[in-house]
Amino acid sequence: MRAEDLRARVERRGDATVVRLDGVLDVDSSPSLRSAVLACLAAEPSMIVLDVADLRHRDDVALTVLPALAQHAAAWPGSAMTLAAAPPQLASALDRMAVARLVPVFPTTDAALASAGTGRTATARHEPAERMRLTLQPMLDATAAARHLVGRACSRWGVERVRDVAELVVTELVSNVLRHAGTEMEVGVARDRRLLHISVRDHASGQPRLGGKPVTECEKGGELREDGRGLLVVSALTRAWGCTPVPDGKVVWATLRI
Protein backbone atom coordinates (compact mmCIF):
# COMPACT_ATOMS: atom_id res chain seq x y z
CA MET A 1 0.00 0.00 0.00
CA ARG A 2 1.53 3.30 -1.10
CA ALA A 3 1.28 6.62 0.75
CA GLU A 4 -0.85 8.01 -2.09
CA ASP A 5 -3.52 5.44 -1.19
CA LEU A 6 -4.49 7.83 1.62
CA ARG A 7 -6.40 10.76 0.16
CA ALA A 8 -7.39 14.00 1.87
CA ARG A 9 -10.17 16.27 0.58
CA VAL A 10 -10.11 19.71 2.20
CA GLU A 11 -13.20 21.88 2.70
CA ARG A 12 -13.44 25.31 4.29
CA ARG A 13 -16.40 25.69 6.66
CA GLY A 14 -16.37 29.29 7.81
CA ASP A 15 -13.17 29.77 9.80
CA ALA A 16 -12.82 26.01 10.28
CA THR A 17 -11.37 23.37 7.99
CA VAL A 18 -12.76 19.90 7.35
CA VAL A 19 -10.39 17.23 6.04
CA ARG A 20 -12.20 14.16 4.70
CA LEU A 21 -9.87 11.17 4.74
CA ASP A 22 -10.27 8.19 2.44
CA GLY A 23 -7.98 5.18 2.33
CA VAL A 24 -5.58 3.40 4.63
CA LEU A 25 -3.59 5.00 7.44
CA ASP A 26 -0.41 3.09 8.17
CA VAL A 27 3.26 3.81 8.82
CA ASP A 28 3.86 4.55 5.14
CA SER A 29 0.89 6.86 4.65
CA SER A 30 1.04 8.76 7.96
CA PRO A 31 3.50 11.34 6.51
CA SER A 32 0.86 12.17 3.87
CA LEU A 33 -1.66 12.84 6.62
CA ARG A 34 0.84 14.98 8.48
CA SER A 35 1.59 17.03 5.34
CA ALA A 36 -2.12 17.56 4.66
CA VAL A 37 -2.82 18.78 8.20
CA LEU A 38 0.23 21.06 8.29
CA ALA A 39 -0.81 22.60 4.97
CA CYS A 40 -4.23 23.34 6.49
CA LEU A 41 -2.67 24.90 9.59
CA ALA A 42 -0.88 27.46 7.43
CA ALA A 43 -4.28 29.13 6.91
CA GLU A 44 -4.68 29.34 10.71
CA PRO A 45 -8.19 27.86 10.98
CA SER A 46 -10.07 27.99 14.26
CA MET A 47 -10.57 24.23 14.08
CA ILE A 48 -9.56 21.25 11.97
CA VAL A 49 -12.02 18.40 11.80
CA LEU A 50 -10.72 15.10 10.44
CA ASP A 51 -13.69 13.23 8.99
CA VAL A 52 -12.56 9.60 9.27
CA ALA A 53 -15.76 7.87 8.10
CA ASP A 54 -13.88 6.34 5.16
CA LEU A 55 -10.54 5.85 6.90
CA ARG A 56 -9.14 2.40 7.57
CA HIS A 57 -6.01 1.62 9.54
CA ARG A 58 -3.52 -1.19 9.12
CA ASP A 59 -2.09 -1.20 12.63
CA ASP A 60 -2.82 0.67 15.83
CA VAL A 61 0.63 2.27 16.01
CA ALA A 62 -0.14 4.45 12.99
CA LEU A 63 -2.89 6.15 15.00
CA THR A 64 -0.32 7.82 17.24
CA VAL A 65 0.19 10.44 14.52
CA LEU A 66 -3.21 11.90 15.46
CA PRO A 67 -2.43 13.22 18.98
CA ALA A 68 0.95 14.45 17.71
CA LEU A 69 -0.83 16.53 15.05
CA ALA A 70 -3.36 17.79 17.58
CA GLN A 71 -0.53 18.91 19.84
CA HIS A 72 1.14 20.76 16.97
CA ALA A 73 -2.15 22.46 16.05
CA ALA A 74 -2.67 23.58 19.65
CA ALA A 75 0.87 24.97 19.88
CA TRP A 76 0.51 26.89 16.61
CA PRO A 77 -1.71 28.39 15.40
CA GLY A 78 -3.80 27.47 18.43
CA SER A 79 -6.31 25.44 16.45
CA ALA A 80 -8.43 22.70 17.94
CA MET A 81 -8.27 19.37 16.13
CA THR A 82 -11.05 16.83 16.41
CA LEU A 83 -12.11 13.57 14.78
CA ALA A 84 -15.55 12.84 13.42
CA ALA A 85 -17.62 9.90 12.17
CA ALA A 86 -15.22 7.12 13.18
CA PRO A 87 -16.59 3.70 12.14
CA PRO A 88 -16.85 1.09 14.93
CA GLN A 89 -13.57 -0.70 14.22
CA LEU A 90 -11.61 2.55 14.09
CA ALA A 91 -13.39 3.92 17.16
CA SER A 92 -12.36 0.83 19.12
CA ALA A 93 -8.75 1.26 18.06
CA LEU A 94 -8.79 4.96 19.00
CA ASP A 95 -10.01 3.98 22.45
CA ARG A 96 -7.47 1.15 22.72
CA MET A 97 -4.58 3.50 21.92
CA ALA A 98 -5.94 6.24 24.22
CA VAL A 99 -6.17 8.58 21.22
CA ALA A 100 -9.79 9.36 22.07
CA ARG A 101 -8.65 10.76 25.43
CA LEU A 102 -6.29 13.20 23.70
CA VAL A 103 -8.24 14.10 20.56
CA PRO A 104 -12.01 14.65 20.89
CA VAL A 105 -14.14 12.30 18.77
CA PHE A 106 -17.61 13.34 17.60
CA PRO A 107 -20.31 11.28 15.89
CA THR A 108 -20.57 13.65 12.91
CA THR A 109 -18.63 16.48 11.31
CA ASP A 110 -21.44 18.93 12.07
CA ALA A 111 -21.31 17.96 15.75
CA ALA A 112 -17.56 18.56 15.81
CA LEU A 113 -17.96 21.99 14.21
CA ALA A 114 -20.76 22.89 16.62
CA SER A 115 -18.51 22.04 19.58
CA ALA A 116 -16.27 25.06 18.92
CA GLY A 117 -18.46 27.37 20.96
CA THR A 118 -19.61 24.93 23.61
CA GLY A 119 -16.42 24.20 25.53
CA ARG A 120 -16.51 20.53 24.52
CA THR A 121 -13.21 20.48 22.63
CA ALA A 122 -10.27 19.39 24.76
CA THR A 123 -7.20 20.14 22.66
CA ALA A 124 -7.18 23.91 22.31
CA ARG A 125 -9.22 27.05 22.69
CA HIS A 126 -13.02 26.95 22.58
CA GLU A 127 -13.47 30.31 20.85
CA PRO A 128 -11.70 31.69 17.77
CA ALA A 129 -8.43 33.38 18.66
CA GLU A 130 -8.06 37.11 18.26
CA ARG A 131 -5.59 37.81 15.47
CA MET A 132 -3.61 40.65 13.95
CA ARG A 133 -1.50 40.43 10.80
CA LEU A 134 0.88 42.61 8.83
CA THR A 135 2.60 42.05 5.48
CA LEU A 136 6.15 43.40 5.36
CA GLN A 137 8.78 43.79 2.70
CA PRO A 138 12.33 42.55 3.40
CA MET A 139 13.64 45.95 4.46
CA LEU A 140 15.48 47.12 7.55
CA ASP A 141 12.40 48.79 9.07
CA ALA A 142 10.53 45.46 9.05
CA THR A 143 11.70 44.59 12.57
CA ALA A 144 10.41 47.88 13.97
CA ALA A 145 7.05 47.42 12.24
CA ALA A 146 6.76 43.87 13.59
CA ARG A 147 7.56 45.01 17.14
CA HIS A 148 4.93 47.73 16.83
CA LEU A 149 2.31 45.18 15.71
CA VAL A 150 3.08 42.87 18.63
CA GLY A 151 3.16 45.75 21.10
CA ARG A 152 -0.26 47.00 19.94
CA ALA A 153 -1.66 43.48 20.19
CA CYS A 154 -0.38 43.01 23.75
CA SER A 155 -1.86 46.34 24.80
CA ARG A 156 -5.21 45.65 23.15
CA TRP A 157 -5.50 42.18 24.70
CA GLY A 158 -4.31 43.16 28.17
CA VAL A 159 -1.20 40.96 28.19
CA GLU A 160 1.43 43.66 28.53
CA ARG A 161 3.36 41.56 31.06
CA VAL A 162 4.70 39.51 28.14
CA ARG A 163 5.12 42.46 25.78
CA ASP A 164 8.89 42.84 26.11
CA VAL A 165 9.53 39.14 25.53
CA ALA A 166 7.04 39.00 22.63
CA GLU A 167 8.68 41.98 20.94
CA LEU A 168 12.11 40.37 21.31
CA VAL A 169 10.84 37.09 19.86
CA VAL A 170 9.23 38.69 16.81
CA THR A 171 12.39 40.75 16.25
CA GLU A 172 14.45 37.56 16.12
CA LEU A 173 12.00 35.82 13.75
CA VAL A 174 11.84 38.77 11.35
CA SER A 175 15.61 39.25 11.50
CA ASN A 176 16.01 35.62 10.50
CA VAL A 177 13.90 36.25 7.39
CA LEU A 178 15.91 39.34 6.53
CA ARG A 179 19.19 37.51 7.01
CA HIS A 180 18.43 34.23 5.29
CA ALA A 181 15.21 34.34 3.23
CA GLY A 182 15.07 37.90 1.94
CA THR A 183 11.43 37.60 0.86
CA GLU A 184 8.16 39.35 1.61
CA MET A 185 6.79 38.12 4.92
CA GLU A 186 3.54 38.03 6.85
CA VAL A 187 3.81 38.62 10.58
CA GLY A 188 0.95 37.35 12.69
CA VAL A 189 0.09 37.53 16.37
CA ALA A 190 -2.86 35.79 17.98
CA ARG A 191 -4.17 35.29 21.48
CA ASP A 192 -6.26 32.48 22.89
CA ARG A 193 -7.11 31.67 26.48
CA ARG A 194 -3.63 30.66 27.61
CA LEU A 195 -1.13 31.48 24.88
CA LEU A 196 0.18 34.25 22.70
CA HIS A 197 1.08 32.93 19.25
CA ILE A 198 3.64 34.74 17.09
CA SER A 199 4.36 33.69 13.52
CA VAL A 200 6.36 34.87 10.54
CA ARG A 201 5.61 33.39 7.14
CA ASP A 202 8.13 33.80 4.33
CA HIS A 203 8.55 32.48 0.80
CA ALA A 204 11.82 30.57 1.12
CA SER A 205 12.08 26.82 1.43
CA GLY A 206 15.12 26.60 3.70
CA GLN A 207 14.44 25.33 7.20
CA PRO A 208 15.65 27.24 10.28
CA ARG A 209 18.06 25.51 12.63
CA LEU A 210 19.15 26.08 16.16
CA GLY A 211 22.77 27.11 16.01
CA GLY A 212 25.44 29.23 17.57
CA LYS A 213 27.49 28.42 20.65
CA PRO A 214 28.34 30.22 23.84
CA VAL A 215 30.82 33.03 23.30
CA THR A 216 33.66 31.11 24.93
CA GLU A 217 33.20 28.27 22.45
CA CYS A 218 32.59 30.12 19.18
CA GLU A 219 35.14 32.91 19.41
CA LYS A 220 37.61 32.48 16.62
CA GLY A 221 39.83 35.16 15.21
CA GLY A 222 37.88 37.79 17.12
CA GLU A 223 34.60 36.97 15.34
CA LEU A 224 31.38 35.41 16.54
CA ARG A 225 29.32 33.00 14.46
CA GLU A 226 25.88 34.62 14.09
CA ASP A 227 23.85 31.89 12.36
CA GLY A 228 21.18 30.39 14.57
CA ARG A 229 21.81 32.50 17.66
CA GLY A 230 18.46 34.27 17.25
CA LEU A 231 16.60 30.96 17.33
CA LEU A 232 18.46 29.96 20.47
CA VAL A 233 17.05 33.11 22.05
CA VAL A 234 13.56 32.20 20.81
CA SER A 235 13.91 28.68 22.18
CA ALA A 236 14.99 29.99 25.58
CA LEU A 237 12.20 32.55 25.92
CA THR A 238 9.17 30.70 24.62
CA ARG A 239 6.97 27.81 25.64
CA ALA A 240 7.42 26.22 22.21
CA TRP A 241 8.60 27.10 18.74
CA GLY A 242 8.69 25.36 15.41
CA CYS A 243 8.60 25.56 11.64
CA THR A 244 5.64 24.54 9.49
CA PRO A 245 6.33 24.10 5.75
CA VAL A 246 3.72 25.54 3.40
CA PRO A 247 3.45 25.24 -0.40
CA ASP A 248 5.16 28.57 -1.06
CA GLY A 249 7.61 28.68 1.82
CA LYS A 250 7.38 28.19 5.58
CA VAL A 251 5.96 29.58 8.81
CA VAL A 252 8.26 29.92 11.79
CA TRP A 253 6.22 30.29 14.97
CA ALA A 254 6.57 30.61 18.71
CA THR A 255 4.18 30.61 21.65
CA LEU A 256 4.29 32.39 25.00
CA ARG A 257 2.21 31.54 28.03
CA ILE A 258 0.12 34.51 29.18
What predicted TM-score, i.e. pTM, was given to this entire model? 0.77
pLDDT at 124: 40
Q: Tell me the mean pLDDT in the region 108-121.
A: 78
Domain 3-117 falls in which CATH fold? Transcription Regulator spoIIAA (3.30.750)
| Bridge partners, residue 251, by sequence | 201, 244
H/E element holding 197? Answer: strand 195-202
Sign of CA dihedral 45, 47, 51, 52: positive
pLDDT at 216 over 50: no
Its CATH architecture, for the domain 130-257, is 2-Layer Sandwich (3.30)
Sign of CA dihedral 156, 161, 166, 168: positive
Give the contacts of 174 (CB within 8 A, at least 6 positions apart).
136, 142, 143, 146, 185, 187, 200
Q: Tell me the mean pLDDT in the region 50-71.
A: 95
Domain boundaries, the chain: 3-117, 130-257
Span 161-202, pLDDT tens digits: 999 999 999 999 999 999 889 999 999 999 988 899 999 999
Sign of CA dihedral 75, 77, 78, 84: negative
**Contact criterion met (CB below 8 Å) for 128 and 120:** no
